[in-house]
C-alpha cells in the first residue's frame, strides 16, 4: 500500500516531471508558489494555502491591503502608521481571506505598531480558523492574544499563561517563557491543562 502524499509532494512530482532540470528546493520558494497560484487555476487554492501556511509577523497580511502596502513596506517614509485609519470593511474582508489560510503565525514584538489597523475587525471574528500553532512574543502584554487565538491550536508558545487558553481543548503543547509563581497563575495553568484532551 502506498503512503498518502502531501499536496506539496504532489506538486513537486508534477513539476519534476514537467521541468526535470529544476531542483526540488526551487519549488519550495514563496516566489514559485505565488507564481503557481497566479497562473494555474487548478493549483491556486493549494498553492495559496502553502504560501500563507507559516507567517512571520502580521506585516505580510497587512501588505495585501493596497492602501497599506506602501506604508507597511516603507516606500513612503513621510507618513507614520499611527496616523493611518484602521482597515475599512472591504479591506478587513481581504485581510481575513488571507488570514484564514494561516496555520502557524509567529506574532512578533513589532505587532503593537500594527494592531490599531485591525480594530475594525470584531474581536469575536476568528481571524485564523485553521490555526494549529501560535508563537506570540509581544513583550509586556497579552491583551491582543484573544484576537489571534481560536479554539483549535495544538501548540502555543507564550510569554505567560492567558485565561483564554482554557478554551483551547485541542492544545497538546504549551510553552511559557516565564515562570508562574503566583497562586493565581498556577491555578490558571492547572485549569488550562485540565481542560485539554
In the chain, where the domains are located? 48-195
Q: At what angle do helices 44-52 and 30-39 cross, to 10 degrees?
A: 150
How far, CA to CA in Å, does 112 sit from each of 81, 82, 97? 11, 11, 22
pLDDT band at 1 (very low <50, low <70, confident <90, very high): very low
Q: Mean pLDDT throughout 31-44?
A: 80
Global pTM exceeds 0.75 = no
Report d(CA 193, CA 73) in Å as an integer. 40
| Cβ-based neighbours of 182, under 8 Å, separated by 6 or more | none
What local confidence, expressed as pLDDT, does residue 88 receive? 92
Instruction: Enumerate the H helices of 40-182 as residue ranges.
Output: 44-52, 59-62, 69-72, 89-99, 145-148
What local confidence, expressed as pLDDT, does residue 79 receive? 56
Q: How many CB atoms lie within 10 A of CB 178?
A: 10
| Cβ-based neighbours of 23, under 8 Å, separated by 6 or more | none
Q: Mean pLDDT throughout 11-26?
A: 61
Q: In what order do the strands lie in the sheet with 133-136?
A: 54-56, 104-107, 133-136, 155-158, 173-176
Which residue carries 492567558 as its cell? 162
Is the predicted pLDDT of residue 91 greater than 90, yes or no? yes
What local confidence, expressed as pLDDT, does residue 151 receive? 67
Report d(CA 169, CA 152) in Å as an integer. 7
Is the predicted pLDDT of residue 155 greater than 90, yes or no? no
Model pLDDT for residues 47-81, shown as the tens digit of each residue? 888 888 888 888 888 888 989 888 877 754 555 67
Amino acid at each position: 500500500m502506498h503512503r498518502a502524499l502531501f499536496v506539496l509532494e504532489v506538486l513537486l512530482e508534477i513539476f519534476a516531471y514537467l521541468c526535470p532540470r529544476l531542483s526540488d528546493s526551487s519549488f519550495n520558494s514563496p516566489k514559485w508558489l505565488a507564481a503557481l497560484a497566479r497562473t494555474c487555476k487548478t493549483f491556486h487554492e493549494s498553492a495559496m494555502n502553502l504560501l500563507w501556511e507559516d507567517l512571520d509577523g502580521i506585516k505580510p497580511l497587512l501588505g495585501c491591503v493596497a492602501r497599506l502596502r506602501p506604508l507597511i513596506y516603507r516606500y513612503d517614509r513621510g507618513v507614520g502608521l499611527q496616523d493611518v485609519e484602521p482597515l475599512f470593511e472591504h479591506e478587513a474582508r481581504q485581510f481575513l481571506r488571507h488570514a484564514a489560510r494561516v496555520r502557524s503565525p509567529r506574532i512578533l514584538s513589532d505587532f503593537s505598531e500594527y494592531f490599531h489597523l485591525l480594530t475594525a475587525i470584531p474581536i469575536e471574528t476568528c481571524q485564523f480558523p485553521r490555526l494549529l500553532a501560535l508563537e506570540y512574543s509581544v513583550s509586556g502584554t497579552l491583551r491582543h492574544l484573544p484576537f489571534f487565538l481560536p479554539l483549535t491550536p495544538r501548540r502555543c508558545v507564550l510569554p505567560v499563561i492567558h485565561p483564554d487558553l482554557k478554551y483551547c481543548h485541542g492544545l497538546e503543547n504549551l510553552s511559557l517563557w516565564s515562570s508562574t509563581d503566583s497562586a493565581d497563575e498556577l491555578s490558571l495553568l492547572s485549569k488550562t491543562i485540565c481542560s485539554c484532551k
